Structure 1
Amino acid sequence: MVDKKENPHNHSQNQIFGKNTELYFAILCGVFLLTGFLVEKLTDFNNYVSLSSYLIAYFFGGFYISIEATNKIAKGGFDIDFLMIAAAAGAAYIGSWTEGALLLFLFSLGHALEHYAMNKAKKSIEALGDLSPKTALVKNNGKLKDIPIENLRINDIIVVKPNTKIAADGVIISGSSSINQAPITGESMPVDKTYIQDSSNLPGFKEIDKKHIVFTGTINGDGSLEVLVLKLTQDSTVSRLIKMVSEVETQKSPTQRLTKKFEKWYVPIVILIVFLLCFAYLIIDEDFKTSLYRAITVLVAASPCALAISTPSAVLSGIARAAQKGVLIKGGKALEDLGEITTIAFDKTGTLTEGKPKLTNVMPINNFDKNLFVELVLEVESLSNHPLAKAIVKDIKAQYSIESQNKASNVNAIQGKGIKASYDGKQVFIGNVKLMEDSSIKVDDDIISKMKNLLENGHTVMLVAYKKEIIGLISVMDTPRKAATTTLKRLKEIGIKHMVMLTGDHQNVGNAIAKQIGLTEAKGNLLPEDKVTAIKSLLQRYGKIAMVGDGVNDAPAMALSTVSVAMGAAGSDVALETADVALMSDKIENLPFVIGLSRESKRIIKQNIFISLGVVVLLVPVTILGLTNIGLAVAFHEGSTLVVVINALRLLRFNKN
């Protein structure tokens, strides 16, 4: 009902009875209403005694409502609070002090309970702020010192004792332990972490293997750790999460925007109708007091309180529940849109697959020396930063027990095709058929046949050319995630009809993995711009689409999708900022939970709108015809507001996967 950022009475609450002042004022209103009613009905005291009691009830009941109404009027708007004040003033004018005080009591009580319920959802989110410990144990020249976490600096070394919270995002440089990451990623089981072998030459935070990384607010197990701080407190994953969740609250969902537009026109129309009803006595046979009473009753019945709170309460509860499970949903729009999705596009590498390709084949041809072939591939690929190159280098070193001798030079990556370099003064090309053709290197049918066989079985194949001649081929394979098949099956069960994989790998690789894990379609050989084209095509075919990736490599395609979902967002600034939905853990199995939660949120929003509009549609004709009194109208009206809030809070217990 009230925009929390515009709530004008927060300061007053803190100054009088603390944060529950509004609730105490509502109760005092009820006490003086009951006192006035009993004095009026059961005693012979002068009417001024009961009237004084009603006036005090008016003061306590109308205090916060009047402040809010005044603030809104100052900004040029009439809202529900104004309608309630007008109704209470009208009741007083016609001498119906009891009904007026009852209206203010129930409305202010509903208001207070609504704020209480909304705050309960907000506290679930704000609890994130309690994750970080207040101090850290810093190791300096062999001595330990407890300092506030605000004073931590990058490259400080902190000591984390067993069963304590970790004070900074960083890399373990000593010790091993099981870490409870549930506060950040929502993972139910502790994750084994160990120290990094070489901390002197670290890559970027996102590039470090996650088994060495720890996050602020996670809980250490039984081992003692030393952690090298890589992020300042304000830049830590948990700090960014808190900041983004607080921003998320203010982002209106499509339904919220629609109800706001509705209210903007609805409230002035209600005021006009109520004004005209005051003069009904000129047309029908009744006195002015009866017409005015009916008009005031209509004013109560027509106020869209429940409608105003129906969507924000559900959105906030849904976002809070997601945050508890390690999922950041950025606002009502993302929440509602995800609930309508029936088509999902997946990036392949690291999303549906492990993202850790393994070297599967080393095949020299035409009697080329295998040792020389392996050495040549190792030297050239050692100069590349491409993930496949790193995997090839790692596996060659492990399988053949050799090290690079830095014999290659002049490496040059060719987008979507491969690399070229110099080895022993001669050019080397490692890549696909197109790279060879563009470099005027003949690829004969026998090589094509070998490639085709491997490609059909899901391998990624690279040709190797030396001295302008093909000397062999190598292949790698990225295996599907263990949870991919069961997750896709679950997605089908909850109504996802189309699941498409977008990959830069060969079409046959895509087809092999799609068949293996149960995708409906796979699109291969895609450059980043081709993925954007593919998303455009899917949007035309299916209307709305979610794109699931790592939030970095597929940023253009994800930006174009209706809802972008980033996996493994903990520690990734880019994924946190660009994605609409961020799964903090690297687990694809969380996807059905998020979609299920979004659908339940959408369902509850629809229920709430139906309830709130239903009560208005029922009450308004009945009150216009004079078939009910103001007390009954108030009871129905405020009852519907409480029903929609309680209905929305059910989302805090959502737990289906």
Structure 2
Amino acid sequence: MNRFQKWVYGNWSVPVVSGVLIIISFAVQRLAGGAANLTISPQWWLDAGTHATHASAVFTLADVFMVAAAVVAGSGIVIKAVRALIARVIGIDLLVSVAALGAVIIGNFWEAAAVTFLFAIGHALEAATLNKTRSALAELVAVAPDSAVVVRDGEQQEIPAGQVRMGEIVLVKNGAKVPVDGQVVSGTGAIEEASITGESMPVEKSKGDQVFAGTVSRGGFLQVLATGIGADTTLARIIHRVEEAQDAKARTQAFMDRFSQWYTPAVMVLALVAGLIAGDVVLALTLLVIGCPGALVISIPVAIVAGIGRAARNGILIKGGEFLETSAKISAVAVDKTGTLTEGQPRLTDVVVLDPTRDRAEVLRWAAAAEAGSEHPLARPILETAREDGVAPEGIPGTVTPVPGKGIVSDVAGQRVLIGNPPLLDQYGVPDDGSAAQAAEALASDGKTPMIVAVDDTVIGVVAVADQIRRDAPEMVARLHQAGVEKVVMLTGDTRLVAEAVGKATGIDEIHASLLPEDKLDVVAQIQRQGHTIAMVGDGVNDAPALATANIGVAMGAAGSAVAVETADIALMGDNLLKLPEAIGLAKRTVSVMRQNIAIALITVVLLLAGVFAGGVTMSVGMLVHEASVLVVIINAMRLLRKTRASTAPPKSEKTTEKGAKQVTV
């Protein structure tokens, strides 16, 4: 399609042609004998005698051009109105169509042309600005890679990105876009992941790291094993989710849609009654134009599109208008400790020997042997330390039985090994003279997670694992409060002492410790009964019940996780905690813009209706003000596309964060 064809089928061809015809009509009138006796008045056609006196071939030609302008601008409007009527929908197009046709019938050609011309301009501007608000989606599509360099038959081949096969080795050179989701198998490099996570700083990648399609290499050379291609890439899932989210309706928008179904017919009835009572057809037609709910109809969806688009640019996926609107009401946030407030990379810090017949290495060896078959995240640091100390277990334990909320029970070489908290000892009848509980409490008070180790019926020691508090955790809590969140709550399966140490360092308002997954659900439900709208931040696995119960479920670090992107109400693609308060703040600003737009639309209609009955507001003036109000609500919504001053980068101040990190290791 060439440029001319694009223009013909574009949004601006109709208003441009209509506008030219209107100009020609005025020019013909001017050339016919001066503006004095050819000025168009709203009543000239009704005065048959006057019309007969002044009509001429030239004047009729001017009428033809004016009617042609109305036909060019109004034909599409009439077609849309008819189609809507067939679908039993009475919309804004019907109001404009009836008003324009009525104006032509009574001879108000200028009014008919002006109304349809202005409406066409409004439609073109509306489409252009809506496309602008959807620019985030266009930007995401634009970063999709076109080509890829793969290794086939031992040679480098450049092929379209869509032709890469699963399991192929893709080469990513400096300055190139990553064409697939994959895992680095060789090389090192710096990858800019702004299109996925919203963070502009490049991330160092090496063997074993994950990379995403649409990200850009800023240095180095990587060989990547393709694990996600085409529609299965993270970028494709993000584009799909943003596209769906921008079309999803908020509760307010759904209400306005229902309202407009009654409002439009009511305007038509009002116009008919007013025209019959006053005996003035022009008044009735003017009321039809004035009552057009265009600004009201566009006020909410344009704000939703802009808000979700702004969020997507920043690496925040909001599932739809309903969740955006609900997020603006969030007054409480519940967060898990491990992996959210902490780094999620615990390490073994202490091995306390309680049995005088054994030494540190033996306690560590039994603990590692018991954890060898465990999937618990705290098993890894124990096993890693055991390997470093040369006491790693050989083979695997006979059986491993997890005891939710307490620990595990393992069969190691025919001996029962318990590793967990004091309630686990009580459950299996293992005696404790108090030394194990005392040691565990002392470690927990230092912000560490203690685990008592018992072999058969004897407690032999306590091991402790610690995780580092994330540098941006205190700042996140502070910004949540600034965003209007009244209560930030920690839900953790860890001990009360460890949880309190983290809470004190981060500024958490309320702590719930030693929780099972179902207990987290109960706490979330309890906070809801207190009247709060609560968001739950979790990993979507053991926190699934609580995430489902919360008003808003938030997935952290969702890049590369298809489940998180598709199921979370809000998915924070990066691992930046400050994205959470940013998402809530953006939701609040979006809802505020929605309310402002509704107010602008309603006030405009009321003032115009008052102006019609008071006199002085014609159809053309009414349509001009109406289209101006449409532009105002769109421009108001586009403010959401601007970046805010608040930075989402981790806080620069080392004093506060280092204090939390150095004084409390959890």
The TM-score normalised by the length of structure 2 is 0.90
Instruction: Give 1:342 deviation, angstroms.
Output: 2.1
User: Structure 1's 122 and 106: CA in aligned 2 closer, same or farther, altered over 3 A?
Assistant: same
Q: Which residue of 2 aligns with 1:564?
A: 553
User: Structure 1's 360 and 348: CA in aligned 2 closer, same or farther, altered over 3 A?
Assistant: same
Instruction: Give 1:491 deviation, angstroms.
Output: 1.9
Q: Which residue of 1 aligns with 2:660?
A: none
Q: Secondary structure at the match of 1:278?
A: helix
Aligned residues: CA RMSD: 1.9
Which of 242, 245, 252 does residue 255 from structure 1 map onto? 252
Which of 476, 491, 503 does residue 487 from structure 1 map onto? 476
User: 1:559–1:578: 8 Å Cα contact kept in structure 2?
Assistant: no
User: Structure 1's 407 and 299: CA in aligned 2 closer, same or farther, altered over 3 A?
Assistant: closer
Q: Distance in 2 between matches of 1:246 and 1:19?
A: 27
Matches within 5 A, 1:193-272: 193-196=205-208, 212-272=209-269
Runs of 5+ in structure 2 lacking a partner? 34-56, 647-666
Instruction: Give 1:451 deviation, angstroms.
Output: 1.6
User: 2:373–2:396: 8 Å Cα contact kept in structure 1?
Assistant: no
User: 2:213–2:233: 8 Å Cα contact kept in structure 1?
Assistant: yes
The CA deviation string for residues 493-545 of structure 1, in whole angstroms up to 9 with x for no partner, is 23222101111111222211111111111111111111111111111113311
Instruction: Give 1:391 deviation, angstroms.
Output: 2.2
Which of 5, 8, 15 does residue 26 from structure 1 map onto? 15
Q: 2:158 matched to 1:146?
A: yes
User: 2:406–2:421: 8 Å Cα contact kept in structure 1?
Assistant: yes
Q: Which residue of 2 aligns with 1:425?
A: 414
Q: 2:64 matched to 1:52?
A: yes
Q: Which residue of 2 aligns with 1:135?
A: 147
Q: Which residue of 2 aligns with 1:165?
A: 177
Q: Distance in 2 between matches of 1:351 and 1:140?
A: 42
User: 1:343–1:542: 8 Å Cα contact kept in structure 2?
Assistant: no
Instruction: Give 1:15 deviation, angstroms.
Output: 10
Instruction: Give 1:151 deviation, angstroms.
Output: 2.3
Which of 324, 332, 350 does residue 343 from structure 1 map onto? 332
Q: Which residue of 2 aligns with 1:326?
A: 315
Residue 273 of structure 2 aligns with an amino acid whose one-letter code is L
Q: Distance in 1 between matches of 2:75 and 2:128?
A: 17
Which of 584, 596, 600 does residue 595 from structure 1 map onto? 584
Q: Which residue of 2 aligns with 1:209?
A: none
Q: Distance in 1 between matches of 2:585 and 2:645?
A: 7
Residue 369 of structure 2 aligns with an amino acid whose one-letter code is E
Instruction: Give 1:129 deviation, angstroms.
Output: 1.8
Which of 513, 524, 528 does residue 524 from structure 1 map onto? 513
Instruction: Give 1:222 deviation, angstroms.
Output: 1.7
Q: Distance in 1 between matches of 2:177 and 2:5?
A: 37
Q: Secondary structure at the match of 1:192?
A: strand
Which of 467, 488, 495 does residue 506 from structure 1 map onto? 495
Q: Distance in 1 between matches of 2:635 and 2:383?
A: 58
Q: 2:636 matched to 1:647?
A: yes
User: 2:11–2:127: 8 Å Cα contact kept in structure 1?
Assistant: no
Residue 419 of structure 2 aligns with an amino acid whose one-letter code is I
User: 2:343–2:470: 8 Å Cα contact kept in structure 1?
Assistant: yes
User: Structure 1's 42 and 340: CA in aligned 2 closer, same or farther, altered over 3 A?
Assistant: farther
User: Structure 1's 366 and 449: CA in aligned 2 closer, same or farther, altered over 3 A?
Assistant: same
Residue 366 of structure 1 aligns with an amino acid whose one-letter code is D
Q: Distance in 1 between matches of 2:149 and 2:11?
A: 43
User: 1:555–1:578: 8 Å Cα contact kept in structure 2?
Assistant: no
Q: Distance in 2 between matches of 1:553 and 1:154?
A: 31
Which of 542, 549, 572 does residue 538 from structure 2 map onto? 549
Q: Secondary structure at the match of 2:183?
A: strand
Which of 137, 157, 180 does residue 125 from structure 1 map onto? 137
Instruction: Give 1:39 deviation, angstroms.
Output: 2.5
Matches within 5 A, 1:182-201: 182-196=194-208
User: 2:7–2:13: 8 Å Cα contact kept in structure 1?
Assistant: no
Residue 246 of structure 1 aligns with an amino acid whose one-letter code is E
Instruction: Give 1:435 deviation, angstroms.
Output: 1.7
Which of 275, 288, 295 does residue 284 from structure 2 map onto? 295
Q: Distance in 2 between matches of 1:15 and 1:78?
A: 35
Instruction: Give 1:14 deviation, angstroms.
Output: 10
Q: 2:378 matched to 1:388?
A: yes
Q: Which residue of 1 aligns with 2:368?
A: 378
Q: Distance in 1 between matches of 2:71 and 2:11?
A: 12
Q: Distance in 1 between matches of 2:90 and 2:112?
A: 20
Q: Which residue of 2 aligns with 1:280?
A: 277
Instruction: Give 1:41 deviation, angstroms.
Output: 4.8
Residue 43 of structure 1 aligns with an amino acid whose one-letter code is A
The CA deviation string for residues 133-166 of structure 1, in whole angstroms up to 9 with x for no partner, is 2222111343212222222222211111112111
Q: Which residue of 2 aligns with 1:365?
A: 354
Q: Secondary structure at the match of 1:258?
A: helix
The CA deviation string for residues 200-221 of structure 1, in whole angstroms up to 9 with x for no partner, is xxxxxxxxxxxx1111111112
Instruction: Give 1:59 deviation, angstroms.
Output: 1.9
Residue 365 of structure 2 aligns with an amino acid whose one-letter code is E
User: 2:247–2:305: 8 Å Cα contact kept in structure 1?
Assistant: no
User: Structure 1's 19 and 224: CA in aligned 2 closer, same or farther, altered over 3 A?
Assistant: farther
User: Structure 1's 273 and 14: CA in aligned 2 closer, same or farther, altered over 3 A?
Assistant: farther
User: Structure 1's 15 and 268: CA in aligned 2 closer, same or farther, altered over 3 A?
Assistant: farther
% same residue: 37
User: Structure 1's 165 and 17: CA in aligned 2 closer, same or farther, altered over 3 A?
Assistant: closer
User: Structure 1's 257 and 445: CA in aligned 2 closer, same or farther, altered over 3 A?
Assistant: same
The CA deviation string for residues 609-629 of structure 1, in whole angstroms up to 9 with x for no partner, is 110000011111321343422
User: 1:172–1:194: 8 Å Cα contact kept in structure 2?
Assistant: yes
Residue 129 of structure 2 aligns with an amino acid whose one-letter code is A
Q: Which residue of 2 aligns with 1:80?
A: 92
The CA deviation string for residues 217-253 of structure 1, in whole angstroms up to 9 with x for no partner, is 1111221110111123221100111111111122101
Q: Distance in 2 between matches of 1:638 and 1:185?
A: 38
The CA deviation string for residues 19-67 of structure 1, in whole angstroms up to 9 with x for no partner, is 8623121121122122223323552453321121112111221133223
Q: 2:620 matched to 1:631?
A: yes
Residue 106 of structure 2 aligns with an amino acid whose one-letter code is I
Residue 546 of structure 1 aligns with an amino acid whose one-letter code is A
How many aligned positions are there? 622
Q: Distance in 2 between matches of 1:479 and 1:106?
A: 62
Q: Which residue of 2 aligns with 1:199?
A: none
